[in-house]
Structure 1
Amino acid sequence: MTETEKAYIAGIIDGEGSIMLQSFHKNQLPAPCVSITSTTTELLTWIKEKFRITFNQIQICTL
């Protein structure tokens, strides 16, 4: 990943995302979680490919 791509993704997280600690069970220690919300599926797919990750949740809402 290039420095330009890293900066672009950082901007996306800053503008359309959040970084938090999240626990799914009350006896579980919190783990870091990065969330990005976008209506542009291509953007999320590009980020997924850059980090070699899978989506935890995809929710598509239409008006």
Structure 2
Amino acid sequence: MKVTVDTQKCIGSGMCVLHAPEVFDQRDGDGVVMLLIENPASELDSSVRESADACPATAIRLADQ
């Protein structure tokens, strides 16, 4: 899976970090998403999908590879 984030859409809710802290973090100050791993290991697929589903701004995009 390939993960991309749209930092312009991010509202800093932190749902991504809550579900997949290995893949996402937030910038200090404004809380905007930071992508830590663009191609996470397959065992993280479920938590990454949960993060994308939980994002209120739909700032996370997933593409199967």
Same fold, judged at TM 0.5 (above): no
| Structure (1 or 2) with the greater helix fraction | 1
Larger RCO, structures 1/2 (Cα 8 Å, 6+ apart)? 2
Q: TM (normalized to structure 2)?
A: 0.30
Q: TM (normalized to structure 1)?
A: 0.31
